[in-house]
Amino acid sequence: MEIFEVDLKSLGKVLDKAWRQRRAVCLIGTYGIGKSQGIYEWARQKAEENKRKLAIWHLLDLRAKEEVIRNVKNYFVDVDIKLQSVGDISKLTGIPLIINGGDNHKVVWQPPLFIEAISKKDAMGVFFLDEINMASPNLQSTAFEITLQRKVGEWKISDDVLIVCAGNPLDVNISANPIPKPLINRLVFLKVGVPSVEEWIKWAVKNNIDTRIISFVKLFEELYKEDEEEMEQSTTPRSWEILSDMIKGETDLDYIRLCSFGTLHKTTASKFYNYLQLMSKLDYKLYVTNPKKFLGLSNQEKYAIITLIAKHVKEKGVESKVPKFVEVVSDDVIELSALLLSLIKIEHGVDYLRKKIVDNLPTDIVKRTLYLVF
């Protein structure tokens, strides 16, 4: 069966239409490429458009969850369930309660709080059933019922809640099971590919990923690298995000090397460590003062220098020279200037970038670079 591949930009449009038409969507794609992140970004955007607060269910404590249930019309609820790790089916369906004891007793089902929230009339949000083809048979059956019938037992999910399920292809996960064909034929069934380097960098800049990682991925275009050996890491968009969390603000190369090999494919980790070693040996002040000398460097050296300038732009003798540096570099490779401005934006904020750098650039340079930054 051929499954059409969707990029992250097109995915948002598909989710919009499915939401309006109350159609469920199933996403199939390898691990770590951003399926969950894509759903989160869509939910964030919808919350903003509908002037509601985004409530990411698994991040809320009990008091916050009860507040969402009481005032659900104020929230856009993002429920993300990893079915493979749910275990007991009652965590999805709820538990039976006996009320009115004696001869008049009856049994009612008490659903989990997230089902109670997204079943309310004014509920709006997304119910994301991840790892649907890796769950136990009983759990899979319940997930399929939710996906097709929009209900859990007697609890009907609100019409304004999008239902999305996701799984891994059979060839990349031996734990995955085929999805029944009757289910496929009732869903919008799409394959999610690995994002392009440019797509990921736009996301990374927006989400303040470590600048050393961004320049490395941009230079080597090494966003995804799978390792088929058991108990070995692969390089994925998710692993770059994890590494960023672990090394941001850290300068100890031994520590960074340890974290790199703990999150990336071994060849990527080695290459990234070598890149940081090179960076530690370069004198960025020499090149920001003499940008024409910068143009004679190798690509690795150029990207490393740009990363260092962005990091240290506020240092004495650096800030005042950056606009001229950007101007000279723009005449050679516009993308390098745009990358420098993007990294400054991450390191020091958009206000600093505008007031201290952009305002001191010639108008033609601003027009040629800023569309790549914002």
157: phi then psi, degrees, rounded to nearest 5 = -75, 140
Does residue 271 sit in the same domain as residue 321?
A: yes
- Out of 174, 192, 210, pick the residue that ends a domain: 192
For the chain, report the end-to-end CA distance as a whole number of angstroms: 40
87 backbone φψ class: left, alpha, beta (φ>0; ψ -120 to 50)? left
Q: What is the pLDDT of residue 76?
A: 98
CATH code of residue 188: 3.40.50.300
Does residue 207 sit in the same domain as residue 136?
A: no
Nearest of 180, 189, 171 to residue 140 by alpha carbon: 180
Does residue 206 sit in the same domain as residue 146?
A: no
Does residue 279 sit in the same domain as residue 181?
A: no
- Out of 157, 192, 227, pick the residue that ends a domain: 192
C-alpha 57/C-alpha 72 separation (Å) is: 12
Residue-level pLDDT, tens digit, the chain, 374 residues: 444 566 666 888 999 999 999 999 989 888 888 888 889 999 999 999 999 999 999 999 999 999 999 999 999 999 999 887 777 777 777 776 667 666 666 666 678 899 999 999 999 999 999 988 777 777 777 888 888 889 887 889 999 999 999 888 766 666 667 777 767 778 888 888 888 898 899 889 989 999 999 999 999 999 998 876 666 888 999 999 999 999 999 999 999 999 999 999 999 999 999 999 999 999 999 999 999 999 999 999 999 999 999 999 999 889 999 999 999 998 888 899 999 999 999 999 999 998 999 898 888 888 877 766 76
C-alpha 179/C-alpha 160 separation (Å) is: 26
Does residue 179 sit in the same domain as residue 211?
A: no
Does residue 188 sit in the same domain as residue 212?
A: no
115 backbone φψ class: left, alpha, beta (φ>0; ψ -120 to 50)? alpha
Q: What is the pLDDT of residue 55?
A: 97
Q: What is the pLDDT of residue 241?
A: 95
Does residue 181 sit in the same domain as residue 160?
A: yes
Does residue 267 sit in the same domain as residue 351?
A: yes
Count the domains in the chain: 2
Q: What is the pLDDT of residue 107?
A: 64
The encoded tokens of residue 182 equal 């009757």
Does residue 134 sit in the same domain as residue 209?
A: no
Does residue 259 sit in the same domain as residue 342?
A: yes
C-alpha 363/C-alpha 374 separation (Å) is: 16
Does residue 186 sit in the same domain as residue 202?
A: no
Does residue 169 sit in the same domain as residue 139?
A: yes
Structural domain range at position 171: 5-192
Q: What is the pLDDT of residue 340?
A: 94
Is residue 257 within 8 A of residue 270, CB to CB? The reply is no
